Amino acid sequence: MERMTVRLRGRVQMVGYRMFSEVTADRIGGISGTVCNLPDGSTVEVVAEGRRESLEEFLDELKIGPPHALVRDVNVEWGIASSEFRGFVTIL
């Protein structure tokens, strides 16, 4: 199990990005973690754990985002899973 922390910048707030992330994680399956808007108004942070293959598929989808999003910059950090999450949820 691995962990990835992704910060996505651009038009990613107020476009349904967090819901998109939840639905996509559920569709791929085997992914747990969180998604939240950061206070700068243009960044979303995703922390996800799962199998590397699932996380890479998830990352590919996150780079695209929902229809009205425009992802301009993606920063990914990989690490070891902590197993602290149960499911994939939005942090408000």
Instruction: State residue 4's pLDDT score.
Output: 98
Judge contact between 17 and 44, C-beta under 8 A. yes
Judge contact between 88 and 28, C-beta under 8 A. no
Instruction: State residue 92's pLDDT score.
Output: 86
* Tens digit of pLDDT at every position of the chain (92 positions): 999 999 999 999 999 999 999 999 999 999 999 999 999 999 999 999 999 999 999 999 999 999 999 999 999 999 999 999 999 999 98
Active-site hit among 11, 37, 72, 75? 37
Instruction: State residue 77's pLDDT score.
Output: 98
Which residue ranges form the domains of the chain, and what is each CATH number? 2-90 (3.30.70.100)
Active-site hit among 3, 9, 18, 86? 18
d(CA 76, CA 47): 10
- Candidates 19, 22, 14; CA nearest to 41 is 14
Instruction: State residue 15's pLDDT score.
Output: 98
d(CA 90, CA 92): 6
Structure tokens that stand for 22 in this block: 């939840």
